[in-house]
């Protein structure tokens, strides 16, 4: 009984607050949905948004230092949950991304007649799992957090009932993700059999001195299979095939959520298992991730290049392929971490790039959600003349695209790309830096092409007929807030880009 009491007393609820509050609000929304009349269902969206804001504020008491909980008896340094600077930065990214997604979703849920209770419960549940993952320090908790983040996302993608594209997208996402999870679980079981532990610190120690060559082979196979599972979550090629159809078929806020929060989950898990769990295999996963980075950015950018505004191609599909290319850039510093003695700087570069990407990419999806209100096909051609119709929105989207391209005035995008490029050069990966430079040039074409479309007259191109524009250019307040927040954040960081790297430098493992 005394052991149980000491275990309960050792639980640090302040450290657990971000994912716990998010999960608690999810349950409140689910129960409230039973009693709230149909006319008042929008209140559930505001409740979910407030809950995410509260969860983000709960990070403030954790800024003073590392907090640990669920530690092994007699081993306070071997814990399952660690609220260190890395975890806090990623949790901030996740919760801020989920908060912007919630703002985008309030009008989408109403306009597309999505089931409110289910939508908000699933979104909050996924965000709770995503907030749990970066603080997880054992393989079992990592896998559970990953699945808590992923399983609700399957349902969110397919929540537009009766929509064939939505159903197909959810099915592809589900089947491919389940296969990746099965591979990952097999890898985790191999690692546990070889090392006798699931805690990352103990796995790392055991891998340095396995007594039997057969155990070393088993552990190597387990590490490889585990990395394959996380590579799927990051949309790294050749595990990216689910991305375009899933983004096109999903409700637009969920596509934006997957592009930002889904990537944060995958990359934080990949960072933890490589840098903390498998440092002794750095000579293997470093080159492997470098090849994946080169392949991913090339596949994503070349495919995005084929999305032609003159052939009625989808803007969301272009953003999907763009996100695959951006995943390649995010992999570069992580690959560089396998070549240096101190991987902290390289990890900081990945986190800095992820913060920049999250703000501007969600901003681009917010503008896409606005355009989709009157042009449901959401083709690139539908953005022609956007500056004439909505000047501020067109300027915001142009700024987001220039940030993604890494061109002024999107200084934050340029700064992030230089940071990633420097990480590759410092690690001696000159060939990867060259591949990245070539891909940045490729990406310039389709980003600038889309930006130019915004300022062309619609009458010049014969764009498809559109629905009527709302009177006086009216934009729903939550959607306008999301676009404004993303734009203000991007402009502020472009004015002081060093703030991102300074903030991300706290994310050192």
Instruction: Provide the mean pLDDT of the chain.
Output: 87
Residue 509's pLDDT band, with cuts at 50, 70 and 90, is: low
Q: What is the pLDDT of residue 3?
A: 41
pTM as predicted = 0.91
Instruction: Please give the helix or strand (H or E) that residue 75 lies within, else none.
Output: strand 75-82
Please say if the pLDDT value at position 46 is more than 90.
Answer: yes
At 289-330, the pLDDT tens digits run 999 999 999 999 999 988 877 676 789 999 999 999 999 999
At 189-235, the pLDDT tens digits run 999 999 988 999 899 999 888 878 888 899 999 999 999 888 888 88
Cα 484 to Cα 267, 364, 490: the distances in Å are 27, 11, 10
> What CA–CA distance (Å, rounded) separates 398 from 450?
8
At 90-120, the pLDDT tens digits run 999 999 999 999 999 998 888 888 889 899 9
Please say if the pLDDT value at position 446 is more than 60.
Answer: yes
Residue 69's pLDDT band, with cuts at 50, 70 and 90, is: confident
Q: What is the pLDDT of residue 38?
A: 85
Q: What is the pLDDT of residue 505?
A: 61
Q: Which range has highest mean pLDDT (20-34, 307-321, 411-425)?
A: 20-34
Q: 3-state DSSP: the chain helix, strand, coil percent, rounded to 5?
A: 75, 5, 20
Phi/psi region, residue 70 (left: phi>0; alpha: psi -120 to 50; beta: rest), is: left
Residue 352's pLDDT band, with cuts at 50, 70 and 90, is: confident
Task: Please indicate whether residue 462 or residue 73 has the higher confidence score (pLDDT).
Answer: 73
Span 440-455, average pLDDT: 92
Q: Which range has highest mean pLDDT (12-16, 398-402, 415-419, 467-471)?
A: 398-402
* Residue 5 neighbours by CB distance under 10 Å: 9
> What CA–CA distance (Å, rounded) separates 133 from 20?
12
At 452-497, the pLDDT tens digits run 999 887 644 444 444 444 444 578 888 999 999 999 998 888 887 7
> What CA–CA distance (Å, rounded) separates 402 from 415?
12
Please say if the pLDDT value at position 149 is more than 90.
Answer: yes
Q: What is the pLDDT of residue 1?
A: 41
Q: What is the pLDDT of residue 199?
A: 92
> What CA–CA distance (Å, rounded) separates 78 from 196?
14
Q: What is the pLDDT of residue 6?
A: 41
What Rg, from alpha-carbon coordinates, does the chain have? 22
Residue 507's pLDDT band, with cuts at 50, 70 and 90, is: low
Q: Are 451 and 402 contacting, i.e. CB atoms less than 8 angstroms apart?
A: yes
State phi, psi for 208 to the nearest 5 degrees: -80, -15
* Residue 186 neighbours by CB distance under 10 Å: 16
At 150-184, the pLDDT tens digits run 999 999 998 887 778 888 888 888 888 888 899 99
Span 70-88, average pLDDT: 86
Q: What is the pLDDT of residue 79?
A: 87
Q: What is the pLDDT of residue 65?
A: 72
DSSP of 93-110: HHHHHHHHHHHHHHHHHH
Residue 144's pLDDT band, with cuts at 50, 70 and 90, is: very high
Among 156, 100, 127, 56, residue whose Cα is nearest residue 363? 100
Among 166, 183, 284, 287, residue whose Cα is nearest residue 233? 183
DSSP of 302-344: HHHHT--GGGT-BHHHHHHHHHHHHHHHHHHHHHHTTTSS-TH
3-state secondary structure 238-279: CCCCCHHHHHHHCCHHHHHHHHHHHHHHHHHHHHHHHHHHCH
Q: What is the pLDDT of residue 258?
A: 93
């Amino acid at each position: 009984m005394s052991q149980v009491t000491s275990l309960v007393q050792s639980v640090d609820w302040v450290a657990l607050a971000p994912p716990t509050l998010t999960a608690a609000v999810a349950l409140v929304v689910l129960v409230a949905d039973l009693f709230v009349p149909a006319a008042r269902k929008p209140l559930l969206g505001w409740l979910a948004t407030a809950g995410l804001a509260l969860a983000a504020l709960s990070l403030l008491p954790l800024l003073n230092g590392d907090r640990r909980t669920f530690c092994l008896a007699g081993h306070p340094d071997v814990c399952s949950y660690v609220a260190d600077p890395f975890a806090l930065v990623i949790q901030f990214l996740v919760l801020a991304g989920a908060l912007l997604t919630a703002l985008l979703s309030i009008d989408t849920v109403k306009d597309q007649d999505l089931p409110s209770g289910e939508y908000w419960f699933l979104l909050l549940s996924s965000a709770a799992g995503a907030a749990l993952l970066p603080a997880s320090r054992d393989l079992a908790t990592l896998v559970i957090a990953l699945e808590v983040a992923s399983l609700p996302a399957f349902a969110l993608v397919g929540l537009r009932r009766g929509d064939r594209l939505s159903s197909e997208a959810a099915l592809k996402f589900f089947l491919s993700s389940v296969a990746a999870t099965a591979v990952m679980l097999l890898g985790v079981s191999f690692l546990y059999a070889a090392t006798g532990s699931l805690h990352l610190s103990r796995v790392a120690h055991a891998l340095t001195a396995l007594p039997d060559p057969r155990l070393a082979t088993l552990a190597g196979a387990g590490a490889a299979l585990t990395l394959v599972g996380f590579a799927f979550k990051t949309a790294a090629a050749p595990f990216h095939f689910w991305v375009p159809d899933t983004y096109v078929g999903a409700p637009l806020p969920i596509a934006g959520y997957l592009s930002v929060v889904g990537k944060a989950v995958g990359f934080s898990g990949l960072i933890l298992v490589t840098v903390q769990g498998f440092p002794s295999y750095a000579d293997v996963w470093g080159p492997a991730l470098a090849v994946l980075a080169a392949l991913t950015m090339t596949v994503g950018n070349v495919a995005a290049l084929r999305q032609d505004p003159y052939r009625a191609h989808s803007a969301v599909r272009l953003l999907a392929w763009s996100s695959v290319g951006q995943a390649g850039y995010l992999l570069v510093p992580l690959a560089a971490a396998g070549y240096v003695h101190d991987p902290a700087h390289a990890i900081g570069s990945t986190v800095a790039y992820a913060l920049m990407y999250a703000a501007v990419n969600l901003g681009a999806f917010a503008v896409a959600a606005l355009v989709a209100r009157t042009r449901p096909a959401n083709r690139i051609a539908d953005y022609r003349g956007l500056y004439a119709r909505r000047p501020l929105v067109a300027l915001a989207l142009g700024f987001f695209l220039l940030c993604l391209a890494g061109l002024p005035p999107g200084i934050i995008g340029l700064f992030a790309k230089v940071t990633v490029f420097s990480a590759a050069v410092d690690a001696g990966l000159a060939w990867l830096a060259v591949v990245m430079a070539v891909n940045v040039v490729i990406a310039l074409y389709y980003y600038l092409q889309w930006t130019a479309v915004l300022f062309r007259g619609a009458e010049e191109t014969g764009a498809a007929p559109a629905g009527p524009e709302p009177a006086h250019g009216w934009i729903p307040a939550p959607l306008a807030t999301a676009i404004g927040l993303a734009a203000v954040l991007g402009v502020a960081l472009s004015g002081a880009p060093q703030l991102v790297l300074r903030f991300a430098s706290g994310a050192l493992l």
